[in-house]
Amino acid sequence: MTSLIPAPLIVLLLKEELKSQKLMSGLNQLGIVAEPYQSDLGRVILMLMGFANSEQDEALYTFYNEQLGLFTALEIGVFQQQLDHLALRLYQELEAIRR
C-alpha cells in the first residue's frame, strides 16, 4: 500500500512527534513520569505512510523509536536548530524502507 498523504504533512507530523519526544525526554530527566500521557503518534504516522499495522511491523516500529531516541538525544540548541532537517531525514529513512 502506498501513502495517500502528502509528504509535507507526514514531515510535519514527524516534526511534532520529535518535539513531543524531546519534551518527554526532558521531563524524564527531571524525574517527572509522563509516559501515561505520551501519544502513540508513531503508529499513526506509519499507517499514514502506508505501512501495514501488523506484528511484522514491530521491527519497523523499533527502528522508528530508536531514530527518535537518537534525534532527541541531541543538545536542545542543536535539536531546535535542526528540527526541520531531522523530520525530513526520518521521513526519507522511512520512505527508503517502504520501497
* pLDDT tens digit sequence for 26-81: 999 899 998 888 888 998 999 899 887 666 678 898 999 999 999 999 999 999 99
* The predicted structure's pLDDT at residue 55: 61
The residues, ordered by sequence, that sit 6+ positions from 36 with a Cβ below 8 Å of its Cβ are none
DSSP 28-79: HHTT---GGG---HHHHHHHHTT---SGGGHHHHHHHHHHHHHHHTS-HHHH
CA 57/CA 15 separation, integer angstroms: 22
pTM of the model: 0.88
* The predicted structure's pLDDT at residue 39: 86
Instruction: Tell me what the pLDDT averaged over the chain comes to.
Output: 90
Q: In the block, which residue shows the cell 502506498?
A: 2
3-class DSSP state of 5: coil
* The predicted structure's pLDDT at residue 30: 92
* The predicted structure's pLDDT at residue 36: 85
* The predicted structure's pLDDT at residue 16: 97
* The predicted structure's pLDDT at residue 54: 62
